[in-house]
C-alpha cells in the first residue's frame, strides 16, 4: 500500500495547477489521468483575455489573477523547458457600430485596451466598423500538459489510467483506491464530475464548444483575431478558429451543424479564401454561476473538488489552485464565491 497526501483525478489545467502547488508545498500527490483526447484543456486555445464576452465587461478578478497566472506559466516554462506562455495582442474587430460604441464606453479607463491609429490586416479582414487592441496572452496547453505529465512521471506521481469511482473506498480518515491510500481525493476531472454522485447537488451548466483548424494562405501574425469567431495562430501554421457554445448536445463529438455555423462566421470575417483542415469539440466544465467550484463534500471531508473553470481555465487555474493549496495548508479561508458549500 502506497500512502500519499492527495489523490488528484484529472490532469487538465485544473489538476496540473493543483498538483503543482501541492508539490511546491512539500505534499506527496498522485495524479490519475486517462488523457481523454477531447478534454476541454486539450481542445482549448488557451486564450487569456481581460475583457469578457460581448458586453466587454472586465474579466472577474483579472488584476489579481493575471499576474499570478503569468508568473506561474513562466516558472513552469523554465522548469519544463517548453514554451508555455505568450503575450499577444487581440485584434478585436467590431461587428457593428453599436458594439464599437459599447466597447469604447466600457473600456475608457482600461489599461488593457487601446484604439489603433490605423487598421491592420486590411487585405484579409472585413472590418467596416474598425477594431480595437486588447492586451491578452495565450497558454500553450499542447506543450504544457504533456511536458508536465512527464514531469509527474519522473516523480512517480502520475498514474496514466482511467479512474473508477466504484473502486474508491471512503472513510473519515481518508480514501483507498487499489493499493493507494490518501488523506484526501480531489476531483479535477472536468465535465466527468457532472456524473459523480458525490457532487449531484452542484448545479453544473456544462456547454459544448466546437472549433475548426484552418489554413489562411498569406495571413501571418502572432496576434489573436476576434470577431464573432476567434482566430489563434498555432505552431504548425494553421489557425485555431472557434468556438461555439451549445448547451443541449447528445455527445461531445464534432457536428456538421457547428461546422456550418463556424464557417459562416469565418466568411463574415475573412475576405480571402481559407481551407478547413480539422474540427474539434469538447465540453467546458461550468457551474451555473460561472465561478470556480472548490472545496470538500460537507458529509465526506476526504472528498474534494476543483472544477467550474468554465471559459476561463487558463487565467483562473493558477490563482485558484494556489488559493486551494493555502486553504488545505490552513493558511487561508476559502473564498465564499468559489466554495462548493454554496450548492449544499
Q: Which is nearer to ligand FAD, 11 or 322 (CB)?
A: 11
Q: Which is nearer to ligand FAD, 131 or 320 (CB)?
A: 320
In the complex, minimum distance from the CB of residue 299 to ligand FAD, in angstroms, rounded to a whole number: 22
Q: Give the whole-angstrom CA distance, residue 143 versus residue 131.
A: 31
In the complex, minimum distance from the CB of residue 160 to ligand FAD, in angstroms, rounded to a whole number: 9
> Counting contacts by CB under 6 A, is residue 77 touching ligand FAD?
no
DSSP 233-291: E-TTS-EEEE---BS--SSSS--HHHHHHHHHHHHHHBSS--EEEEEEEEEE--BTTSS
Q: What separation, in Å, do the N-terminal and C-terminal C-alpha atoms of the chain show?
A: 34
Q: Which is nearer to ligand FAD, 226 or 297 (CB)?
A: 226
- Is the link from the previous residue into 117 a cis peptide, with omega within 30 of 0? no
Residues 10-29 that bind ligand FAD (CB under 6 A): 10-15
What is Dmax (Cα atoms) for the chain? 66
Q: Which of 142, 233, 313, 318 binds ligand FAD (CB under 6 A)?
A: 313
How many other C-beta atoms are found inside a 10 Å radius of the C-beta of residue 128?
A: 9
Contact criterion met (CB below 8 Å) for 160 and 34:
yes
In the complex, minimum distance from the CB of residue 118 to ligand FAD, in angstroms, rounded to a whole number: 28
Q: Which is nearer to ligand FAD, 32 or 132 (CB)?
A: 32
Contact criterion met (CB below 8 Å) for 39 and 280:
no
Contacting range for ligand FAD; rule: CB under 6 A; set: 78-86, 149-157, 261-269, 313-321 = 313-321
Per-residue binding string, ligand FAD, 215-254, x by CB under 6 A, is: ---------------------------xx-----------
Q: Which of 19, 39, 72, 258 binds ligand FAD (CB under 6 A)?
A: 39
C-alpha cell at 184: 484526501
> Counting contacts by CB under 6 A, is residue 72 touching ligand FAD?
no
Q: Which is nearer to ligand FAD, 41 or 107 (CB)?
A: 41
Q: CB under 8 Å to 2, separation ≥6 — which residues?
A: 30, 179, 180, 181
Q: What is the DSSP letter of 335?
A: P
Q: Give the whole-angstrom CA distance, residue 92 versus residue 139.
A: 19
Contacting range for ligand FAD; rule: CB under 6 A; set: 30-38, 60-68, 76-84, 117-125 = 30-38
* 91, 95, 100, 102 alpha-carbon torsion, rounded to 10°: -110
> Counting contacts by CB under 6 A, is residue 175 touching ligand FAD?
no
Contacting range for ligand FAD; rule: CB under 6 A; set: 40-48, 77-85, 110-118, 216-224 = 40-48
Q: Give the whole-angstrom CA distance, residue 257 versus residue 124.
A: 25
> Counting contacts by CB under 6 A, is residue 265 touching ligand FAD?
no
Q: Which is nearer to ligand FAD, 35 or 101 (CB)?
A: 35
Q: Give the whole-angstrom CA distance, residue 34 versus residue 32.
A: 7
Per-residue binding string, ligand FAD, 279-298, x by CB under 6 A, is: ---x-xx-------------
**Chain centroid to CA 19:** 16
> Counting contacts by CB under 6 A, is residue 314 touching ligand FAD?
yes
In the complex, minimum distance from the CB of residue 115 to ligand FAD, in angstroms, rounded to a whole number: 24
In the complex, minimum distance from the CB of residue 287 to ligand FAD, in angstroms, rounded to a whole number: 11
Residues 99-158 that bind ligand FAD (CB under 6 A): none
Q: Give the whole-angstrom CA distance, residue 148 versus residue 158.
A: 10
Q: Which residues bind ligand FAD (CB under 6 A)?
A: 9-15, 32-36, 39-41, 43-47, 162-163, 188-192, 209, 211, 242-243, 282, 284-285, 307, 309-315
Amino acid at each position: 500500500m502506497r500512502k500519499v497526501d492527495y489523490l488528484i483525478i484529472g490532469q487538465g489545467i485544473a489538476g496540473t495547477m493543483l498538483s503543482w502547488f501541492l508539490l511546491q508545498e512539500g505534499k506527496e500527490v498522485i495524479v490519475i489521468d486517462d488523457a481523454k483526447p477531447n478534454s476541454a484543456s486539450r481542445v482549448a486555445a488557451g486564450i487569456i483575455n481581460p475583457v469578457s464576452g460581448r458586453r466587454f465587461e472586465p474579466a472577474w478578478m483579472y488584476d489579481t489573477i493575471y499576474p499570478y497566472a503569468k508568473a506561474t506559466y513562466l516558472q513552469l516554462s523554465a522548469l519544463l523547458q517548453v514554451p508555455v506562455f505568450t503575450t499577444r495582442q487581440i485584434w478585436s474587430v467590431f461587428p457593428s457600430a453599436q458594439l464599437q460604441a459599447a466597447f469604447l464606453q466600457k473600456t475608457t479607463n482600461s489599461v488593457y485596451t487601446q484604439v489603433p491609429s490605423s487598421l491592420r490586416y486590411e487585405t484579409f479582414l472585413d472590418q467596416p466598423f474598425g477594431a480595437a487592441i486588447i492586451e491578452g496572452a495565450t497558454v500553450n496547453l499542447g506543450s504544457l500538459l504533456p511536458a508536465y505529465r512527464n514531469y509527474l512521471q519522473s516523480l512517480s506521481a502520475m498514474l496514466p489510467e482511467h479512474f473508477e469511482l466504484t473502486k474508491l473506498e471512503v472513510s473519515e480518515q481518508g480514501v483507498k483506491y487499489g493499493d493507494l491510500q490518501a488523506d484526501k481525493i480531489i476531483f479535477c476531472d472536468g465535465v466527468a464530475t457532472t456524473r459523480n454522485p458525490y457532487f449531484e447537488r452542484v448545479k453544473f451548466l456544462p456547454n459544448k464548444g466546437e472549433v475548426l483548424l484552418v489554413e489562411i494562405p498569406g495571413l501571418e501574425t502572432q496576434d489573436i483575431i476576434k470577431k464573432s469567431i476567434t482566430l489563434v495562430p498555432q505552431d504548425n501554421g494553421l489557425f485555431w478558429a472557434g468556438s461555439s457554445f451549445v448547451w443541449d448536445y447528445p455527445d461531445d463529438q464534432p457536428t456538421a451543424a457547428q461546422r456550418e455555423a463556424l464557417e459562416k462566421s469565418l466568411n463574415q470575417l475573412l475576405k480571402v479564401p481559407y481551407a478547413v483542415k480539422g474540427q474539434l469539440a469538447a465540453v467546458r466544465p461550468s457551474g451555473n454561476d460561472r465561478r470556480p467550484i472548490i472545496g470538500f463534500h460537507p458529509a465526506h471531508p476526504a472528498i474534494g473538488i476543483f472544477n467550474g473553470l468554465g471559459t476561463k481555465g487558463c487565467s483562473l487555474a493558477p490563482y485558484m489552485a494556489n488559493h486551494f493549496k493555502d486553504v488545505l495548508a490552513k493558511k487561508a479561508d476559502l473564498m465564499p464565491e468559489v466554495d462548493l458549500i454554496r450548492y449544499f
